[in-house]
């Protein structure tokens, strides 16, 4: 289920939903018996939230979810809160005309076009209000039931407070203690972004390296380049959408490519872009790209770079991105001379953020021309686009990763995880995944979509490593014996065919030495020779 569809059904995002599941699991979790499986905590919470979020009656939710009425709602409800409904006085033509009531014109009169439009718009507004009150009536019908009204109010308070505490809203603007810095926090499913202002000391200028632990290097191959990149190995591994990365491609276009293999779509996927634009380092002799590496961070700085648009001013950009070992990214903008949206994105995309995808390789064999064609398809499954209008001088974005399935290395930790992704364990690969990452192709080719599971009880059914080694050894011995038998069988068949070919050649060519030898020593001559020898013995 997509994130927008998920929130439409349950009125909360996945993070607060999983938080509720984890908190309620000790109280609602039941043990599976021989009679039946218990209702999972996930289903209990989902049904309860859907009941509160929809206009459906209690018994309708129960029948749709195939859950008994006694187990549907009460076990999940703890708190809830009030709501204020604004009052609107809009009526139809049956109401009397008063100072505080709007009504359409009578239909039995000849109305002008303006009057007809007024009545039409007013009826549309009235329908909206009537539908709103109808939904409110259906949602608050639960309060009329004495046995469930208190619990419904209780759980609404919990969910409302949880949405605020967990920063569920897409954008929240906060103010620091000095009321000077605006901090905007966004939730992007795989990452959370935080926008804030910085001062001059927060920017680690690699041209004037003042940190002894940083090893700074200027990339000379990019100094006078355009639309090029170079590969740099990192001093540590970091996670990008859960994938382990140990090398990057630094480009002149203001972004990094993190995929192990270089491809033609690095500007569309697998990138970390503090500011991706059509930068041309040939236009300014002072333009340069630096990188600095430390124990737990890696910094790339684009210094005094110009765009390739002649219509824009010759003012330069200076910005950097810091990669931390824990997978967080910090993008700091020291100098943004003019609004970024003025940069044209005709020949080169202009964006800021990150994006990831996976590559599927297919092989198409041609029997007619006896050759194979290899196709690689790039699928982008997620991206974080940061608002370009927020990019100003001495501003920054910080992206912090969310825990993904790839970070679990055992079957138990994978199947018992309660995160915002549906993790499954594949025993063939010993891999925990939600099937949407760089391992997509090997996941499908290994039939993990069929053999994977998310139940922790199935982990005990996986054979141990010692049994697997013994089984693998036995299979190798059987395979080796089969190979030896096949080799001897092939040799025997070849010898038989050679003998048949020799005798056939001698039979068809009797004038040859082999043909004469076969005629002289043919089997019928063997019998005649023995008969002559026997007769000579009788005569003597």
Residue with tokens 């953020």: 353
Closest CA to 336 of 291, 389, 292, 287: 389
Token couple for 278: 């059509």
Burial of 77 (0-12, 13-18, 19+ CB in 10 A): buried
Helices (H), 376-508: 411-415, 440-445, 448-451, 465-508
Rg (CA), the chain: 38
Please give the average per-residue pLDDT across 67-71, as a whole number.
45
Sequence-separated (6 or more) residues with CB below 8 Å from residue 517: 506
Residue 212 pLDDT > 80: no
Please give the average per-residue pLDDT across 406-425, as a whole number.
92
Report the pLDDT value the prediction gives residue 253, as an integer from 0 to 100. Answer: 94
Cα 39 → chain centroid = 29
Q: How many Cβ atoms sit within 10 Å of the Cβ of residue 530? A: 9
Report the pLDDT value the prediction gives residue 226, as an integer from 0 to 100. Answer: 87
Helices (H), 315-464: 411-415, 440-445, 448-451
Token couple for 154: 């209780």
Residue environment code for 293-321, b if the CB has 16+ CB neighbours within 10 A, otherwise e? bbeebbbbbbbbbbbbbeeeeeebbbbbb
- The H or E element spanning position 1 is none
Rounded to whole angstroms, the Cα distance separating 233 from 291 reads 11
Closest CA to 351 of 277, 423, 283: 277
Please state, rounded to an integer, the average pLDDT across all residues of the chain: 79
Rounded to whole angstroms, the Cα distance separating 49 from 65 reads 13
Token couple for 349: 């995309």
CA angle centred on 353, ends 352 and 355, rounded to 5°: 130
Residue 171 pLDDT > 50: no
Please give the average per-residue pLDDT across 112-116, as a whole number.
84
26-37 pLDDT tens trace: 777 776 666 667
Helix (H, G, I), strand (E, B) or coil at 409: coil
Q: What is the dihedral of CA 477, 478, 484, 486, to 10 degrees?
A: -160
Between 1 and 288, where is the model more confident?
288
Is residue 351 very low, low, confident or very high in pLDDT (cuts 50, 70, 90)?
very high
Residue 191 pLDDT > 70: yes
Is residue 505 very low, low, confident or very high in pLDDT (cuts 50, 70, 90)?
confident
Sequence-separated (6 or more) residues with CB below 8 Å from residue 407: 239, 242, 432
Token couple for 165: 């505490």
Please give the average per-residue pLDDT across 321-347, as a whole number.
92
Most confident of 12-21, 112-121, 257-266, 313-322: 313-322
Q: Indicate the DSSP class of residue 15.
A: H
Report the pLDDT value the prediction gives residue 180, as an integer from 0 to 100. Answer: 45
Q: Say what the pTM is.
A: 0.56
Please give the average per-residue pLDDT across 174-185, as a whole number.
53
Report the pLDDT value the prediction gives residue 19, as an integer from 0 to 100. Answer: 80
Most confident of 39-53, 150-164, 496-510: 496-510
Please give the average per-residue pLDDT across 282-302, as a whole number.
93
Token couple for 529: 């020779």
Lowest mean pLDDT among 424-433, 447-456, 478-487: 478-487
Token couple for 240: 């990008």
Instruction: Encode 154-176 in three state secondary structure.
Output: HHHHHHHHHHHHCCCCCCEEEEC
Largest CA distance in the chain: 157
Report the pLDDT value the prediction gives residue 167, as an integer from 0 to 100. Answer: 45
Helix (H, G, I), strand (E, B) or coil at 353: strand
Token couple for 15: 């993070």
Q: How many Cβ atoms sit within 10 Å of the Cβ of residue 349? A: 15
Report the pLDDT value the prediction gives residue 312, as an integer from 0 to 100. Answer: 84
Is residue 66 very low, low, confident or very high in pLDDT (cuts 50, 70, 90)?
very low
Residue 463 pLDDT > 80: no
81-105 pLDDT tens trace: 344 434 557 777 777 777 677 788 8
Between 3 and 315, where is the model more confident?
315
Closest CA to 234 of 301, 294, 302: 294
Please give the average per-residue pLDDT across 111-123, as a whole number.
82
Q: Indicate the DSSP class of residue 143.
A: G
Report the pLDDT value the prediction gives residue 48, as an integer from 0 to 100. Answer: 80
Residue 10 pLDDT > 80: no
265-289 pLDDT tens trace: 898 999 999 999 999 999 999 999 9
Question: What CATH code is assigned to 405-460?
Answer: 3.30.1680
Domain extents in the chain: 3-53, 68-147, 190-401, 405-460
Sequence-separated (6 or more) residues with CB below 8 Å from residue 146: none
Sequence-separated (6 or more) residues with CB below 8 Å from residue 53: 9, 10, 11
- φ, ψ of residue 471 to 5 degrees: the values are -65, -40
Residue 74 pLDDT > 50: no
List, in sequence order, every beta strand (DSSP E) within 203-242: 215-218, 229-240
Asked whether 337 and 304 are in contact (CB, 8 A), the reply is no
Residue with tokens 């200027």: 218
Residue 370 pLDDT > 90: no
Token couple for 332: 């700091």
Between 388 and 141, where is the model more confident?
388
Please give the average per-residue pLDDT across 122-142, as a whole number.
70
Sequence-separated (6 or more) residues with CB below 8 Å from residue 397: 193, 194, 195, 274, 330, 331, 352, 386, 390
Please give the average per-residue pLDDT across 65-70, as a whole number.
45
Instruction: State how far the alpha carbon of 220 is from the alpha carbons of 205, 289, 318, in Å.
Output: 18, 8, 17
Report the pLDDT value the prediction gives residue 160, as an integer from 0 to 100. Answer: 64
Report the pLDDT value the prediction gives residue 521, as an integer from 0 to 100. Answer: 72
Please give the average per-residue pLDDT across 492-501, as a whole number.
90
Closest CA to 14 of 327, 420, 418: 420
Residue 271 pairs in a beta bridge with: 257, 355
Rounded to whole angstroms, the Cα distance separating 47 from 308 reads 55
Helix/strand number for the chain, H first, E second? 13, 17
Percent of the chain with pLDDT over 90: 37
Residue 157 pLDDT > 70: no
Please give the average per-residue pLDDT across 387-416, as a whole number.
93
């Amino acid at each position: 289920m997509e994130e927008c569809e998920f929130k439409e059904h349950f009125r909360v995002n996945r993070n607060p939903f999983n938080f509720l599941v984890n908190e309620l699991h000790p109280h609602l979790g039941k043990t599976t018996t021989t009679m039946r499986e218990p209702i999972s905590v996930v289903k209990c919470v989902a049904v309860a939230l859907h009941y509160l979020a929809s206009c459906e009656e209690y018994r309708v939710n129960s029948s749709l979810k195939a859950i008994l009425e006694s187990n549907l709602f009460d076990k999940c409800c703890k708190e809830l809160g009030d709501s204020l409904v604004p009052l609107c006085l809009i009526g139809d033509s049956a109401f009397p005309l008063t100072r505080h009531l709007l009504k359409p014109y009578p239909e039995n009169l000849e109305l002008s076009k303006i009057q007809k439009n007024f009545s039409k718009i007013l009826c549309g507004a009235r329908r909206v209000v009537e539908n709103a009150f109808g939904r409110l009536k259906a949602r608050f019908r639960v309060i009329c039931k004495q046995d469930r009204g208190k619990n419904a109010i209780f759980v609404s308070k919990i969910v409302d407070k949880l949405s605020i505490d967990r920063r569920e809203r897409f954008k929240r603007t906060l103010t620091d203690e000095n009321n000077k810095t605006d901090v905007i926090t966004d939730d992007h499913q795989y990452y959370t972004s935080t926008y804030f202002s910085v001062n001059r000391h927060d920017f680690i200028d690699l041209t004037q390296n003042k940190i002894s632990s940083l090893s700074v290097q200027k990339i000379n191959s990019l100094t006078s380049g355009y639309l090029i990149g170079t590969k740099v190995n990192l001093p540590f591994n970091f996670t990008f959408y859960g994938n382990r990365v140990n090398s990057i491609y630094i480009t002149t276009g203001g972004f990094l490519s993190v995929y192990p293999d270089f491809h033609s779509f690095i500007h569309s996927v697998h990138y970390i872009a503090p500011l991706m634009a059509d930068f041309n380092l040939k236009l300014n002799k002072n333009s340069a790209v630096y990188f600095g590496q430390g124990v737990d961070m890696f910094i790339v700085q684009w210094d005094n770079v110009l765009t390739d648009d002649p219509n824009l001013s010759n003012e330069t950009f200076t910005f950097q991105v810091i990669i931390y070992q824990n997978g967080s990214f910090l993008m700091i903008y020291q100098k943004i001379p003019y609004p970024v949206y003025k940069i044209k994105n005709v020949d080169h995309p202009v964006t800021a953020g990150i994006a990831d995808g996976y590559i599927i390789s297919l092989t198409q064999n041609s029997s007619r021309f006896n050759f194979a064609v290899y196709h690689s398809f790039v699928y982008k499954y997620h991206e974080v686009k940061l608002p370009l209008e927020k990019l100003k001088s001495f501003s920054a974005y910080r992206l912090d990763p969310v825990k993904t399935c790839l970070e679990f290395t055992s079957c138990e930790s994978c199947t018992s995880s309660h995160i915002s992704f549906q993790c499954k364990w594949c025993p063939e690969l010993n891999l925990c995944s939600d099937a949407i990452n760089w391992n997509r192709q090997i996941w499908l080719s290994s039939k993990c979509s069929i053999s994977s599971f998310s139940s922790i009880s199935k982990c005990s059914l996986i054979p141990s490593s010692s049994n697997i080694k013994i089984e693998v050894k036995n299979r190798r011995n059987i395979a080796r014996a089969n190979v030896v038998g096949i080799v001897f069988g092939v040799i025997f068949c070849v010898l038989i065919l050679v003998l048949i070919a020799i005798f056939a050649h001698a039979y068809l060519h009797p004038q040859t030495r082999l043909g004469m030898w076969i005629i002289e020593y043919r089997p019928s001559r063997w019998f005649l020779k023995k008969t002559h020898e026997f007769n000579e013995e009788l005569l003597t």
